[in-house]
Amino acid sequence: MTAPGQRDRASLHYPVEPMTAATTRELPVAAAWAYEPKWDGWRCLAWIRPGRVQLQTRSGKPIGVQFPDITRALRATLPPGVVVDGELVVWDDARERSSFSLLQRRAAAGRHVLQLARQHPAHYVIFDVLATADASWLPAPLTERRALLEDLLAGAPTSLVLCPHTTDPAVAREWLDTWTTTGIEGIVAKRVDQPYRVGRGGWQKLRARTSAEAIIGGVTGWITAPRTILVGQFDTRGRLRFTGRSTPLTETQRAELAPLLHRPVAQRQGLRMEHPWPQPLPSSWTGSWQTRTAQRYTQVEPDTVAELLVDTAFEHGRYRHPVQHIRVRRDISVYDVPILGIDE
């Protein structure tokens, strides 16, 4: 295989913004497209240097110190000068799926990093190559970059995973239907003739989603003009547990919800009775690993059920990504909402 040329290699500097994917509602099925699973992990680019490896997140944050098992494997497998793109994941043997919370624990391990690396080893799922020692592969089409990547990862250890790849949309749909229980979030579609566009879009991602019911326990904004809803489910002890927050509501949804929402009965009667959730919601409930801000909200009587569109990122009783409100379920009671199988 002939390298695309050296003219761009000198301009590729650490860190680099990776190519991105825009959300789509339909999987493109033309002959020019290929498909890969969307992993529930952290986007990570790896730079192989003489004697060392640098890892960076999508935002450019260095994370090599937190993942010595991955830097060691990369240093032993790939030659200096190689730059690859992929996703860091940690497998939860007990749940038989990837675990975002274990990945966060690895990143926050501090002086216990080696201990956690032994207890919860990471895997690096690699799906693209940006450069080798003497050439930039950014201008090359995906088909050529993929062939190079397969050569580079031949005989790699199990911690370095060549991302599954297909040009058959039926196979991609099968992944979407059957692999989500292992933590796959959806499918990323890529044009086979497209170069790698640093810091720009060009790929498409289709998330695996399903409908679910939950109880509205609060809103952001005002009861008369809610901006988002905060939802929960009863646990096995009968406590209403916070499970997630919605994306911004449409004007139609606001108009439908406003007449149904009320302050808790005790508050309306001037009594001191606590809402099931604290005010504000703790940052550990609502924040991502990058955002740690407590959420102030308006408490409402938890007597209204919402139908939601949710993805597969549900862990420890909460949706990690915002859910989408579809409609109010006036036909069912809050006691018809499925019980969360947790009681701690």
Q: What is the pLDDT of residues 270-312, one digit of tens each?
A: 555 578 999 999 988 876 544 568 889 999 999 999 999 888 7
d(CA 121, CA 132): 27
CATH class of 209-336: mainly beta
Least confident of 17-31, 129-143, 168-182, 259-273: 259-273
Whether residue 192 is predicted with pLDDT greater than 70 in this model: the reply is yes
In the predicted model, what is the mean pLDDT of the chain?
Answer: 89
Distance separating alpha carbons of residues 196 and 200, to the nearest angstrom:
9
pLDDT at 104: 84
Q: Which residues pair with 33 in a beta bridge?
A: 191
pTM of the model: 0.74
Lowest mean pLDDT among 7-21, 40-54, 159-173: 7-21
Residue 6 has pLDDT above 70, yes or no: no
| CATH topology (fold) of 16-207 | D-amino Acid Aminotransferase; Chain A, domain 1 (3.30.470)
Least confident of 139-143, 234-238, 264-268: 264-268
Domain ranges of the chain: 16-207, 209-336
Question: What does the pLDDT average to over 27-50?
Answer: 94
CA-to-CA distance for 332 and 201, rounded, in angstroms? 42
Task: State pLDDT tens for residues 238-262.
Answer: 999 999 999 999 999 999 999 999 9
Which is higher by pLDDT, 286 or 178? 178
- CA-to-CA distance for 117 and 120, rounded, in angstroms? 5
Same fold, 16-207 and 209-336: no
